[in-house]
Amino acid sequence: MNARAVASHQRRRPIRRAAIMLPSGLTIANLFFGIFAIVAASRGDPSRAGLYVVIAGIFDVFDGRVARATNTGTPLGSELDSLVDIVSFGVAPAMIMYFAVLNREGWDWVFSFAFIACAALRLARFNVEQAGRAKRYFHGLPSPAAGLTLATYYWFSQTPLYNDTNIANLPWHVMLRFVMAGLGALMVSDASYPAVPNVGFKSLRDLLGTVVIVGTVIGVFFVPKQFFFPACLAYVLYGLGSTVFLGLVGLRAADEPDDDTDAQDGAEPAHRVRAGAASLAFTSSDAATLPGAARRRKRRRRPRRGPPDRNSDSDQEPPSPEA
C-alpha cells in the first residue's frame, strides 16, 4: 500500500510542476507581446502594436485566475506580474503614442515618460495594498485599462465610426497629450474602479456582471477595432464619475468586502496588517530603551540613605496601653 502511494505521488509530481509553471508561463507570454508591441511601434506599425497589447491584456487576465484556480499563486508570481505589466501596459502604449502621435523632435517624449512613471507607481502601490487578494475595487485606475486606452486609439481611428462622424474633426493630436496626462494622474489617484465582475444569476450585481462579460466578449470577437477604445474610455470615465459622485454625497466605494473575504481565507486584512506592522515597529524601537529607562526611574525613586532622624516617629516609644 505504501509503495502504491509513493508511485502515485511520483506520477502526480510532474502534473503539479506543470500547474505551478503555467501562471508564470502566461505572464512571460504577456511580456513577449508587450515587447513585440514596442518593436512594432518603432517600425511604424501602430495598428499591429495595438493588437499585441490587446493580446498581452488577455494573458494578463488569465495568469492570475489560473494561479488562484490551481492554488499555485506565489509572491514571486505576483511581483513578476507587476514587472511585466510595466512593460506591456506602461512602456508599450507610451511608445505607440510617441511613434504614432507625438512630436519626436520636441519635448513631447515627456508625456510618454510621465505615463510610464505613473504606471510604475501604480503597480508598486498595488503590490503594497492589494496584491494577492480577491478584490471588487481597485485603488486608482488599473494600468492595463490605461494602457489599452492608449494602445487601441489608432485602431479606432481607422474605423468608419471615427472617420465618417464628427469625431475625426476633434483635435486628437492635441487632446491625446492631455489624455495621457489624465490617465497617468488617475493611475496614482485614490479613485475607485470596479474589478472584473462576477458571473452568475444569484443577485443583481452578478446579473449585471454577466451582461457586461457577455457584451465584452461579443465586442472583442466581432467588432474589436470599434469596441476597445470606446469601452476603455467609458470605463475610465465611469470610475472617475462614480468616485466624484460618491465623494459629493459623503460615501466611498471602499474595498470593505475584500477584507471579509481575506478573513474567511485565513489572511489578515490589509489595514490590520499595516496597523500590526506599525505597532510592532513602535514596540521594537522602544524595547531597547525601556530597561534603561526603568532602571533610571527606579534609581530616582530609591530613598536616600542617611542618619536616622531622632525626632521621627519610628524612634519614638510606642504609647502605653493605659494611654
For the stretch 203-226, pLDDT in tens is 777 788 888 889 888 998 898 999
* CATH number of domain containing 232: 1.20.120.1760
Burial 39-77 (b: 16+ CB within 10 A, else e): ebbeeebbbebbbbbbbbbebbebbbebbeeeebbeeeb
**Would you say residue 293 lies in a domain?**
no
Contact 193, 140 (CB under 8 A): yes
Q: What is the mean pLDDT of each run of 10 residues along the chain (323 residues)?
A: 55 63 91 97 94 94 84 83 95 94 83 96 87 73 95 91 85 90 95 81 81 88 91 93 88 48 36 38 41 50 53 48 43
**Would you say residue 276 lies in a domain?**
no
Give the model's pLDDT for residue 270: 39
**Would you say residue 190 lies in a domain?**
yes
What are the backbone dihedrals phi and psi of residue 98, each rounded to the nearest 5 degrees, phi first? -65, -45
**Would you say residue 305 lies in a domain?**
no
**Would you say residue 55 lies in a domain?**
yes
Task: For residue 137, give the C-alpha cell.
Answer: 475595487
**Would you say residue 237 lies in a domain?**
yes
Name residues whose C-beta falls within 8 Å of residue 267's C-beta, 6 or more positions apart in sequence.
Answer: 133
Domain carrying residue 202 = 16-254
Q: What domain count does the chain have?
A: 1
**Would you say residue 141 lies in a domain?**
yes
CA 213 to chain centre: 21
Residue where the block lists cell 501562471:
23
Name residues whose C-beta falls within 8 Å of residue 236's C-beta, 6 or more positions apart in sequence.
Answer: 141, 145, 146, 149, 183, 186
pLDDT tens string 21-67: 888 899 999 999 999 999 999 999 999 999 999 999 999 988 888 88
Distance CA 213, CA 220 (A): 10
**Would you say residue 98 lies in a domain?**
yes
Give the model's pLDDT for residue 291: 47
Distance CA 303, CA 299 (A): 9
Helices (H), 87-203: 92-100, 109-129, 143-151, 153-157, 160-163, 172-187
Distance CA 239, CA 316 (A): 85
pTM: 0.71
Helix (H), strand (E) at residue 270: helix 270-287
Contact 259, 207 (CB under 8 A): no
